[in-house]
Amino acid sequence: MLDKLGVRGFTWWDNVQGRGSVDGEPRRGTHTWPEMNSAVLTIVPEEQVQPLLKAIKKIDDVNHEIGIRAFVWNIETTY
């Protein structure tokens, strides 16, 4: 999806623990909660934000039980 949208730079973390704030099951990597999450961080130009959010929502609509989420922060400065 990132390649298709022209998003080149990103960081990916595997084995992230957590739980969704609404109806998500815990993801802890334990016997009781064996699944784990992953997380991606990317900084994109403002014009790429909405297409990226739309693509993420489309994936979540198909696989709602997975609980894909996106968060947007304004980045003031990079170098």
Name the phi and psi angles at 27, rounded to 5: -125, 100
- Residue 37, domain member (yes or no): yes
Q: What is the pLDDT of residue 45?
A: 94
- Our count of domains for the chain comes to 1
Cβ atoms of 27 and 19 within 8 Å: the answer is yes
Q: What is the pLDDT of residue 55?
A: 95
- Residue 1, domain member (yes or no): no
- Residue 2, domain member (yes or no): no
| Domain containing residue 27 | 11-66
Work out the number of other CB atoms within 10 angstroms of the CB of residue 12: 11
- Residue 39, domain member (yes or no): yes
Question: How confident is the model over 16-39, as pLDDT tens digits?
Answer: 999 887 778 899 999 999 999 999
> Model pTM?
0.82
Please, what's the b/e burial string for 44-56 (b: 16 or more CB within 10 A of its CB; e: otherwise)? beeeeeeebeebe
Which of the four pLDDT bands, split at 50, 70 and 90, describes residue 72?
very high
- Residue 28, domain member (yes or no): yes
- Residue 46, domain member (yes or no): yes
- Residue 72, domain member (yes or no): no
